[in-house]
Amino acid sequence: MSTPLKFYQVGSFAVGNRLLGDEQLSVQSRSDRTNSLTSGHRACQGCGEALGARYVMDAAMAATDGKVIAVNATGCLEVFSTPYPETSWRLPWMHSLFGNAAPVATGVAFALKAQGRSDIRVVAQGGDGGTVDIGFGPLSGMFERNDDVLYVCYDNEAYMNTGVQRSGATPPAARTNTTHAVGENPGASFTQGKNLPKIAMAHGIPYVATASVSDLHDLEEKVTKAMSMHGARYLHVLVPCPLGWGTRSEETIKLARLATESGLFPVYEAEDGVVTATKKIRKQVPVDEYLQIQKRFSHLFGPKGNPELVKAIQEIANRNIAEFDLLGEAQ
Amino acid sequence: MLQQIEGSKAVAETIAACMPDVVCAYPISPQTHIVEALDELTRLGKIGNCQFVNVESEFSAMSVAIGASATGARTYTATASQGLLFMVEPVYNASGLGLPIVMTVANRAIGSPINIWNDQSDSMSQRDSGWIQLYAQDNQSAADLHILAFRLAEELSLPVMVCMDGFILTHAMEEIDVADIDLVQKYLPKFAPRQVLDPQDPVSIGAMVGPEAFTEVKYLGHFKQLKALEIIPELSEQFEEVFGRPAAGPDDYKGLVTKYHLEDAEVVLVALGSVLGTIKDAVDEHRKNGIKVGAMGITSFRPFPLDEVRKSLKHAQKIVVVERAFAPGVGGIVSSNIRTALSAIDIKINTVVAGLGGRPITLKSISELVDKALYGSLPEFSFMDLDVELVERELERNLLTRRSGPMAENLLKDLGTR
């Protein structure tokens, strides 16, 4: 079957552009991509996690000549990819429990070391609940030992698999089914939150990075870079969830972009505990633009809205922008 | 070679001879000497390319073991007490996945009140976890059972716990014949996993299973346990051929139970673990006086050898089960399994809870127990050497005062001022 060439693709850096040169071609647009998380799985339409996982695993496979063992925490990604007897995984994959993806991956890494299989690499993955909450202690242990594992957190900011409950990664004021938008203080409480990329950095591990599904070139590059390194590595990917956020399926990428362009989700890299690169915001947007199109924040807007809380959220964005110099103002 | 050696050290050297690929552990008394010795042996290069992983919790110890075993590594860990409870979730996961991990449980009480001394409430709490459970009666069998455990685990693709009484065995110096590595290698073939994470042949392990196949997966776990009842006798026989002694101790019967003067015994004491030593002394004492007493030990508690237990006990007139754990609100744990084995056979079974939290089980107490069983004054369920006065004082305090204060602390105060 022949597909007519669309010439406007030439010169575009769209991640799916197959006409770019070898240097610029994304792993995902290569004909030899591994389809590690192949089609037919049961993720919702517009699932940011399915998209992120596909790019992460294919990039990891491309970087290792197809020699990756994946370990998965319990969660959406596990459930939608392996309803028995079906599996979407075209690589060796294991799921054990909710909170133990990191130490199971450690076990895989040490078994490979004992067997002298330095060519095979390990990637662990989980959602924000499995990472920042229930799996946090074991993950910190894996970081501290500097085990040879890349851990990827797909952060959709709540327990979506169990039906949208608050996690340690749920942002302030967000409505979930355990932080209802009722009463005097509707939504999630206004706390400091648990910033796992920074906690990972505090362990001084070789590589920590954040990424967003709005910039898949960047995501692939970070996975490729992580796979070129050894020791404990951590990648935190923002993955919007239409179901949990109350957003339109076709707006997942837009939301991920607004999260980064507003400064609420800073995208950066750190090596050995020190920030080495940040993605600058191209065009700063006020947080309202990001919040307003999500039902989980709808109680902040309209006649019964709460402009004070919106302002407080804007201040979080401003602090991020200053901390990571996201506008490139510092010299 | 016979040597004067601590139980934990003997176990560690035996594990080393089994050549594991990955050993992971979190320290907890009284398991520590085992893993300390294994760290040293690993660093000295005495276990080939074995990797020793220090983890931050028992939850992670078992999780590392799961990942390593699923990657085709022979994997070992050890724990006790609170540690075993902290890893319960991955303990069930390991058996559900069918991963042949071997773990020592250095039996210790479970708090509260916190207590580091021996009883068997820890491993008893995991009797239905799907793991095979073997109980050692002395340090020779504690060491030897680990060799059999690896063979059994890998044969069935099922994890095995070897339970040895904390301190009483783990910290006791005894003369032990630590198995020679050449003999171990002769007995224990290279690990050939049934399932392995391999990029050359990718599989998904740990998929979600709904009602359509969950029962069947669980049935197969049960089936493997029943299969173990057939395999343990075979492996025990082969063990004796290679090493010249039974793995489960001198009174071993097929690796499933131990029998001591059972043939004509009218009163039989049943127990698991090191207390069998004291019980056998009590049997000898009574036999000298012409009283027909015998002892049966249970080596394989899971699977429970219903047939062997029935055959061993059906001619007894009275059975006394000495248990180092119990089920609050009901009574004995081992006893209820014995009752299942003897269903429809009318034999009086008494349960005696003994040795909780490290309380010594003395020869005197056991001998008195036999006398009471003989003369019919033993209640169906009782606690050996219970300090009745201490209990009554606290019960009285509870009646008199609403805010009577923390129970354990009250008892200790009473003890101190008595």
pLDDT at A8 over 70: no
B110 and B189 in a common domain: yes
Q: In Å, how far is B48's CA from the nearest CA of chain A? A: 9
Counted residue by residue, chain B has a size of 418
CB–CB contact A83 B55 (8 Å)? no
ipTM over 0.90: yes
Residue owning tokens 């942002």? A171
Residue of chain B whose alpha carbon sits nearest to that of A87:
B204
Q: Among the residues of chain A, which ranges form H helices? A: 48-63, 76-81, 101-114, 128, 136-145, 196-202, 216-227, 242-245, 252-261, 287-291, 307-324
Residue B249 maps to a domain: no
Domain of B19, CATH number, reads 3.40.50.970
Neighbours of A145 (CB within 10 A): 21
pLDDT at A262 over 90: yes
pLDDT band at A329 (very low <50, low <70, confident <90, very high): confident
- CB-based contact (8 Å) between A78 and chain B? yes
Quote the mean pLDDT of chain B.
97
Show which of residues 82-101 on chain A sit within 8 Å of chain B, judged by CB atoms.
Answer: 82-85, 87, 89-97, 99-100
CB–CB contact B206 A96 (8 Å)? yes
For residue A5, the model assigns a pLDDT of: 59
Residue of chain B whose alpha carbon sits nearest to that of A111:
B68
For residue B183, the model assigns a pLDDT of: 98
Kindly list the distances between the CA atom of residue A173 and the CA atoms of A182, A306, B300, in Å, as whole numbers in the listed order: 11, 10, 56
Q: Which of B216, B243, B270 lies at the terminal end of a domain, its last residue?
A: B243
pLDDT band at A191 (very low <50, low <70, confident <90, very high): confident
B212 and B148 in a common domain: yes
pLDDT at A12 over 90: no
Q: Which of B213, B243, B273 lies at the terminal end of a domain, its last residue?
A: B243
pLDDT band at B376 (very low <50, low <70, confident <90, very high): confident
For residue A234, the model assigns a pLDDT of: 98
Nearest to A107 among B64, B97, B208 (CB): B64
H/E element holding B83? helix B81-86
End-to-end CA distance of chain B: 51
Residue B412, domain extent: 388-417
> Packing angle between helix B306-313 and helix B334-341, nearest 10 degrees?
80
pLDDT at A151 over 70: yes
- CB-based contact (8 Å) between B3 and chain A? no
Q: Which of B243, B271, B300 lies at the terminal end of a domain, its last residue?
A: B243
Taking CB atoms and an 8 Å cutoff, what residues of chain A touch B59?
Answer: 99-100, 103, 137-138
Measuring CA to CA, which residue among A68, A80, A130, A128 is closest to residue A101?
A130
pLDDT at A172 over 60: yes
DSSP B179: P
Angstrom distance (rounded) from CA A91 to CA A319: 41
B376 and B394 in a common domain: no
Angstrom distance (rounded) from CA A193 to CA A264: 13
Give the bridge partners for B103, in sequence order.
B77, B161
- CB-based contact (8 Å) between B25 and chain A? no
Mutant choice from A94, A117, A142 vs B, greatest count of B C-beta within 10 A = A94
Quote the mean pLDDT of chain A.
95
pLDDT at A9 over 60: no
- CB-based contact (8 Å) between B175 and chain A? no
Residue B251 maps to a domain: no
pLDDT digits (tens, 9 = 90+) for A38-82: 999 999 999 999 999 999 999 999 999 999 999 999 999 999 999
Taking CB atoms and an 8 Å cutoff, what residues of chain A touch B55?
Answer: 103, 106, 138, 141, 145
Angstrom distance (rounded) from CA B58 to CA B56: 7
Q: What are the residue boundaries of the structural domains of chain A, listed by start?
A: 12-324
DSSP A187: S
B192 and B304 in a common domain: no
Overall number of domains in chain B: 3
Measuring CA to CA, which residue among B6, B28, B5, B163 is closest to residue B83?
B28
B182 and B275 in a common domain: no
Q: How does strand A274-278 pair with strand A233-238?
A: unpaired
The number of CA neighbours under 13 Å toward the Cβ of B276 is: 30
pLDDT band at B331 (very low <50, low <70, confident <90, very high): very high
Neighbours of A228 (CB within 10 A): 10
B338 and B398 in a common domain: no
pLDDT at A10 over 70: no
B399 and B335 in a common domain: no
Peptide bond before B113: cis, by omega within 30 degrees of 0?
yes
Taking CB atoms and an 8 Å cutoff, what residues of chain A touch B72?
Answer: 111, 115
Angstrom distance (rounded) from CA A22 to CA A17: 11
Percentage of chain B exceeding pLDDT 70: 100
B395 and B313 in a common domain: no
The number of CA neighbours under 13 Å toward the Cβ of B16 is: 23
Domain of B289, CATH number, reads 3.40.50.920
pLDDT digits (tens, 9 = 90+) for A200-251: 999 999 999 999 999 999 999 999 999 999 999 999 999 999 999 999 999 9
B182 and B266 in a common domain: no
pLDDT digits (tens, 9 = 90+) for B220-247: 999 999 999 999 999 999 999 999 999 9
- CB-based contact (8 Å) between A110 and chain B? yes
Taking CB atoms and an 8 Å cutoff, what residues of chain B touch A68?
Answer: 199
Mutant choice from A38, A100, A162 vs B, greatest count of B C-beta within 10 A = A100
Task: Find out whether B73 and A109 touch, Cβ atoms under 8 Å.
Answer: no
CB–CB contact B66 A93 (8 Å)? no
Token digits of residue B184 = 């171990």
- For range B45-59, the mean pLDDT: 98
CB–CB contact B53 A110 (8 Å)? yes
- CB-based contact (8 Å) between A105 and chain B? yes
- For range B357-367, the mean pLDDT: 98
Task: Find out whether A156 and A128 touch, Cβ atoms under 8 Å.
Answer: yes
- CB-based contact (8 Å) between A42 and chain B? no
For residue A120, the model assigns a pLDDT of: 98
For residue A21, the model assigns a pLDDT of: 83
CB–CB contact A78 B208 (8 Å)? yes
CB–CB contact A110 B24 (8 Å)? yes
- CB-based contact (8 Å) between B50 and chain A? yes
Task: Find out whether B141 and B247 touch, Cβ atoms under 8 Å.
Answer: yes
B214 and B238 in a common domain: yes
For residue A20, the model assigns a pLDDT of: 82
- Three-state secondary structure call for residue B360: coil
Taking CB atoms and an 8 Å cutoff, what residues of chain B touch A100?
Answer: 59-60, 63, 66, 89-90
Residue B51 maps to a domain: yes
Strands (E), A60-217: 68-72, 93-95, 121-127, 150-155, 207-212
Architecture of domain A12-324: 3-Layer(aba) Sandwich (3.40)
B327 and B181 in a common domain: no
H/E element holding B259? strand B257-260
pLDDT band at A84 (very low <50, low <70, confident <90, very high): confident
The number of CA neighbours under 13 Å toward the Cβ of A253 is: 7
pLDDT band at A1 (very low <50, low <70, confident <90, very high): low
B356 and B300 in a common domain: yes
